[in-house]
Amino acid sequence: MKSTLLFACAVCALLTAVKSGEQDVVVLDDSNFDFRTKEMDTVLIMFYAPWCGHCKRIKPEYEKAAEILKADDPAIPLAKVDCTEAGKGTCSRFGVSGYPTLKIFRNGEFSQEYNGPREHMGIVKYMRGQVGPAAKPIESIEALTKYLDNDDGSVIGYFDSDSSLKSSFEKTADKLRETFRFALVTKEDVIKAKGVASGSIVLHRPTRLVNKFEPADVVYSGEADKSKIESWINEEYHGLVGHRTQDNSKQFPKPLIVAYYSVDYVKNPKGTNYWRNRVLSVAKDFESLNFGVAATDDFQHELNEFGIEFAKGDKPIIAGWNEKSQKFVMSGEFSVEKLREWTHKLVDGVLDPYMKSEPIPEGNSKAVKVAVGKNFQEVVIDNGVDTLIEFYAPWCGHCKKLTPIYEELAEKMKDEKVAIVKMDATANDVPPPFDVRGFPTIYWAPKNAKDKPVKYQGGRELSDFIEYIAQHSTDGLSKSKDEL
């Protein structure tokens, strides 16, 4: 009897806790989203669908985090929007296309995507790091000197009075606080001691990256517009040739040329800059390209994608991407002259791109055509018919389950003006504009619009594929859906 009572009490306590956590999540929809979020300094919002398995898994963790953060001072609210019911318009407005999608808002405005953990203590820690000023207040020249003595660049606002530019700077800092370092100097004597003009935003490059080819400090000269300040920071932060690391590699957009060698600013800064300065002497003449240096050991996986299994010698290996994400590798031993000549050819579009590819299959006569890197143009782009192409991974369980259905579909389409194609995306480079981030990924490429393929989002039964092809085929099918 006693054990039964204790069990009942435990269950009651658990249900109460769950209910409490659920109640701590603010419910938003189309009718209250704008005015409720304007009341919150910082809020994490989960856009979800009730039927979504990933949403169901994160739900209890999200509620536990909400319960903990509600007790903080100041409290950090967590909210949710049901994208299938009363929040459809809001989800559409903020470009929600998958579930769950988590976004951070500040004072009613979208600030940034949530890229943190999905378990409750991880959410708590991440969101606690989002409160408070994103731009660190600095009140003495000594503190400023210490702040600038850092391995990363710093974006500092020097304002001894309020202004629209100061407001835009602070909003930009809020949005980019996870990516860049920001500080704010408001004392007139500190601004004068630093020798900058009040009302300025200055990007200070780290000492280790200062060079003769570009200024150590860059002053923003644009409008009081946070999007323009953000663009300026993204363009200037890493300079002509940035130090590319595993943490910041996504901050280097394409077209991009990277020099891979034994980059080490801790043990060998002089040797590191010896090669970087030679890359800089070339980079200064190619404003349309982005350049970086990277440690070979940290990016061996990337070198493998360029077909380089082992880095020989001490000189840099040069590789990169054009604006179409095609890959290129400079052959032979590094020299400044060779890099300059190779870069000119890259800009002029006369280099042959490197392509990871399996051997072209002999015959390729089965109903499902096999595309590899070297024959993709022939099998998919130039085949003259509508094409359904599956990008798969050999180890993928969903891909294996799809195989017999896909093969049966190909048999039924043999006499139609439709090609059914598959490609192992782990052994071959996937050319743009096809974007593969999971397996299987399926695209429909109309015969007259191969440059604008459409990701297939339909069902994966045979009837689903036939229905889709019948609806979207350029020339129509010779047989009815029932006959197929």
19-128 carries CATH number 3.40.30.10: yes
pLDDT at 104 over 60: yes
| 292/272 Cα distance (integer angstroms) | 12
| CATH class of segment(s) 369-472 | alpha beta
Mean pLDDT across 334-358: 96
Domain pair 19-128 / 136-236, same fold: yes
Enumerate the β-bridge partners of residue 290: 256
pLDDT at res. 397:
94
Mean pLDDT across 26-41: 96
Mean pLDDT across 166-179: 91
Banded model confidence at residue 4, pLDDT cuts 50, 70, 90: very low
pLDDT at res. 179:
85
CATH fold group of domain 136-236: Glutaredoxin (3.40.30)
Enumerate the β-bridge partners of residue 103: 45, 113
pLDDT at 11 over 90: no
| 227/216 Cα distance (integer angstroms) | 23
- Residue 299's nearest CA partner among 255, 252, 231 is 252
Mean pLDDT of the chain: 92
HEC string of the chain? CHHHHHHHHHHHHHHHHHHHHHHCEEEECCCCHHHHHHCCCCEEEEEECCCCHHHHHHHHHHHHHHHHHHCCCCCCCEEEEECCCCCHHHHHHCCCCCCCEEEEEECCEEEEECCCCCCHHHHHHHHHCCCCCCCEEECCHHHHHHHHCCCCCEEEEECCCCCHHHHHHHHHHHHHCCCCCEEEECCHHHHHHHCCCCCEEEEECCHHHCCCCCCCEEECCCCCCHHHHHHHHHHHCCCCEEEECCCCHHHCCCCEEEEEECCCCCCCHHHHHHHHHHHHHHHCCCCCCEEEEEECHHHHHHHHHCCCCCCCCCCCEEEEECCCCCEEECCCCCCHHHHHHHHHHHHHCCCCCECCCCCCCCCCCCCCEECCHHHHHHHHHCCCCEEEEEEECCCCHHHHHHHHHHHHHHHHCCCCCEEEEEEECCCCCCCCCCCCCCCCEEEEECCCCCCCCEECCCCCCHHHHHHHHHHHCCCCCCCCCCCC
pLDDT tens track for 420-455: 999 999 999 999 899 998 999 999 999 999 999 999
pLDDT at res. 226:
94
Percent share of the chain, pLDDT over 70:
96
| 163/185 Cα distance (integer angstroms) | 14
The full length of the chain comes to 484
- Residue 223's nearest CA partner among 170, 157, 169, 175 is 169
Indicate the domain borders of the chain: 19-128, 136-236, 241-348, 369-472
pLDDT at 12 over 50: no
pLDDT at res. 17:
39
pTM (two decimals): 0.72
pLDDT tens track for 271-285: 999 999 999 999 999
CB-neighbour burial class of residue 460 (10 A; exposed 0-12, middle 13-18, buried 19+): middle
CB-neighbour burial class of residue 194 (10 A; exposed 0-12, middle 13-18, buried 19+): buried
91 as an active site residue: the answer is no
pLDDT tens track for 186-230: 999 999 999 999 999 999 999 999 999 999 999 999 999 999 999
Check 9, 12, 91, 396 and give the catalytic one: 396
12 as an active site residue: the answer is no
pLDDT at res. 483:
76
| 45/68 Cα distance (integer angstroms) | 16
Banded model confidence at residue 15, pLDDT cuts 50, 70, 90: very low
Contact 208, 265 (CB under 8 A): yes
pLDDT at 14 over 60: no
pLDDT tens track for 284-330: 999 999 999 999 999 999 999 999 988 788 899 999 999 988 999 99
pLDDT at res. 175:
87
Banded model confidence at residue 21, pLDDT cuts 50, 70, 90: low
Check 9, 83, 91, 399 and give the catalytic one: 399
| CATH class of segment(s) 241-348 | alpha beta
Contact 76, 20 (CB under 8 A): no
Which two tokens mark 134?
């994103």
Mean pLDDT across 386-391: 98
pLDDT at res. 18:
41
Check 9, 12, 55, 91 and give the catalytic one: 55
Check 9, 12, 52, 83 and give the catalytic one: 52
pLDDT tens track for 245-257: 988 998 999 999 9
